[in-house]
A and B are shown apart, each in its own frame.
Chain A
Amino acid sequence: MSGHVFHPGHSDLHGITVVLETTGGALYVGRYHEETPNGVLLHDVAEHRAGAGGTSREEFFAKTMKFGVRAQHRNLVVPGGEVKRITRLVDWPAG
């Protein structure tokens, strides 16, 4: 059963944990599901916003790499026009 995929037909990123950067500076880490007419659907999403008085981006990623993706959103749709770049988490420079 190894390697068996229950949900064929999705994009290569389906099920992969990605970093989605937005044009507005927000950054989301979550499992890519699919691109819909409304935008990119992610599951179990952690969010980081620069300058929000919280941790720095570097701290956010260091914590995510060690302790995992602490989801703040079960499902999140990021409008297509706000998507700047999508990178696999394992390929993220801090990763």
Chain B
Amino acid sequence: MPYDPRMVQPMRDEMVRMGAKELVTVADVDAALGDPKGTMLVFVNSVCGCAAGGARPALSLALNHANRPQQVVTVFAGQDTDATGRARQYFADYAPSSPSMALLRDGEVVHFVHRHMIEGHTPQDVARDLTAAFDRYCATTAV
């Protein structure tokens, strides 16, 4: 059962503040991921403080890096369930978990951060992993 939308709004706002585009419908997801060009990070948001409480700050830190994805989009697991399910179809080889992050280049997953890679790590640790992937796969462009 989804949480009260008022409770999760700050978690949505946190993503928007860092420049992520919210995808709340299947149509939103298809519009963003259906025509893959360039680099895109898909952040699967979650209410779980155990991991998501570190994942969002990690991404925020990583997006200050010189190299970063051309686009950052987000779906909210357990809240926008249809949109999340649709997004996961675009990286179906990877088991669903939330929070998680998929870095895509021209529609192909080039790096994936699973929930278990976030748990117990500091935002700085996770950001370091992300920026290494950004250096490898992303051109220097603004979100």
Q: Is A5 an interface residue (CB 8 A)?
A: yes
- The smallest beta-carbon distance between A73 and chain B, in angstroms, is 13
> A69 near B119 (CB under 8 angstroms)?
no
Contact count band on B: 20 to 34
> B95 near A2 (CB under 8 angstroms)?
no
- The smallest beta-carbon distance between B10 and chain A, in angstroms, is 4
Query: Which chain B residues (106-130) contact chain A, with CB distance < 8 Å?
Result: 112, 114-117, 119-121, 123
> B57 near A16 (CB under 8 angstroms)?
no
> B116 near A69 (CB under 8 angstroms)?
yes
Contact count band on A: 20 to 34
> B53 near A5 (CB under 8 angstroms)?
yes
In the assembled complex, which residues on chain A have CB atoms less than 8 Å from the CB atom of B14? 1-2
- The smallest beta-carbon distance between A79 and chain B, in angstroms, is 24
Known contacts A16-B120, A17-B115, A90-B116: A4-B97 contact under CB 8 Å: no
Q: What are the 10 closest A-B residue pairs judged by CB atoms, nearest first?
A: A68-B95, A15-B50, A5-B49, A17-B116, A1-B10, A3-B53, A68-B114, A70-B95, A89-B116, A2-B57
